Amino acid sequence: MQILAGVGAPATGDYNSIATFSVGGAGSSTIDITSIPSTYKHIQIRGIIKASTGSQLNFKLNSDATANYARHGAMGDGAITNIWSVANGSYFMTFPFTGLPTGANIFASVVIDILDYASTSKYKTVRIMSGQDSNGSGEVDLASGLWFNTAAVTSVNVFLPTGNFVQYSTLSVYGING
């Protein structure tokens, strides 16, 4: 298969690895992504994650825990669909219905795009795609949101409201060139 430049795929060098965070054997309830350089147009966080309890995945920008987040999304699990929204939340979230997988050798995947993260003249838009399959049950989520703050994003705090990320949970951060 031939991919034409500019059609369907990013050019070589458009994504640059910034950092990777992996959870060790003891587990952790938070993964703090800090010291994000301001040299890219957008950032993307990709992960495979698993939790000790069936918890949703939450994250906030620059440790801001005030009611500065609006979010909405859709979820499907093969049998039902749910649509949800929150107008004045204190964080972003995904896996709101079935939670992260807890079964042996089952991890969820997540991709988080933070658009124009370094801009100081506009609010930040976030897109989230996530999903997990627990051997016949699970969910797929599509969500987006807005952080009502014009500060440049310098850190992302990923956390669970209950339980811990288990060993081998990994988040990788990429800078996307403009």
The CATH number assigned to the domain holding 90 equals 2.60.120
Does some domain include residue 7?
A: no
Kindly indicate the confidence band of residue 121, based on its pLDDT and cuts at 50, 70 and 90.
very high
Mean pLDDT across 78-99:
86
Please give the pLDDT value at position 137.
79
Mean pLDDT across 102-125:
93
Does some domain include residue 1?
A: no
Q: Of residues 20 and 79, which shows the higher confidence score? A: 20
Q: Of residues 61 and 55, which shows the higher confidence score? A: 61
Q: In the chain, how many domains are there?
A: 1
Determine the residue type at 1.
M
Please give the pLDDT value at position 3.
42
For residues 62 and 24, the answer to whether their CB atoms sit within 8 Å is no
Nearest one of 166, 176, 147 to 27, comparing CA atoms: 166
**pLDDT over 70 percentage in the chain:** 92
Which residues neighbour 109 within 8 Å (Cβ) at sequence distance 6 or greater? Answer: 46, 47, 48, 49, 130, 131, 132
Q: In the block, which residue shows the tokens 């499907």?
A: 76
Please give the pLDDT value at position 132.
87
- pTM higher than the cut 0.85: yes
Is residue 33 pLDDT above 70, yes or no?
A: yes
Kindly indicate the confidence band of residue 15, based on its pLDDT and cuts at 50, 70 and 90.
very high
> What mean pLDDT is reported for the chain?
89
Does some domain include residue 6?
A: no
Please give the pLDDT value at position 11.
56
Please give the pLDDT value at position 170.
96
Work out whether the CA dihedral 8, 9, 14, 19 comes out positive or negative.
Answer: positive
Please give the pLDDT value at position 2.
40
For residues 95 and 45, the answer to whether their CB atoms sit within 8 Å is no
CB contact burial 74-86 (16+ within 10 A = b; e otherwise): ebebeeeeeeeeb
Is residue 147 pLDDT above 70, yes or no?
A: yes
Q: Please give the residue range of the domain that contains residue 133.
A: 15-176
Q: How far apart are CA 159 and CA 1, in angstroms?
A: 40
Is residue 41 pLDDT above 50, yes or no?
A: yes
